[in-house]
Amino acid sequence: MIKFIVEVLLAIFLHPVAFILCIVDIVNRKDLGGGWKVLWIIITFFWGIGPILYILLGGGKFW
């Protein structure tokens, strides 16, 4: 729970860092196809809400 709160705060206040962490995780995931990877990279670009959606709906993580 604490990790989730830290990830949400990071996504809101330090979006560029969260965006880079998301991209690293997305590129390294083997369960996603190329189209899904591109879609999640586009979604995580949106300030604050994108990385949070990736954590909640995409099964992703920052670390």
The answer to whether residue 26 sits within a structural domain is yes
- HSE-CB of 31 using CA atoms within 13 angstroms: 4
Span 19-48, pLDDT tens digits? 898 899 999 999 989 999 999 999 989 887
Q: What is the pTM of this model?
A: 0.77
The answer to whether residue 62 sits within a structural domain is no
The answer to whether residue 47 sits within a structural domain is yes
Domain holding 48, by residue range, is 2-57
The answer to whether residue 13 sits within a structural domain is yes
User: What's the total number of domains in the chain?
Assistant: 1
The answer to whether residue 63 sits within a structural domain is no
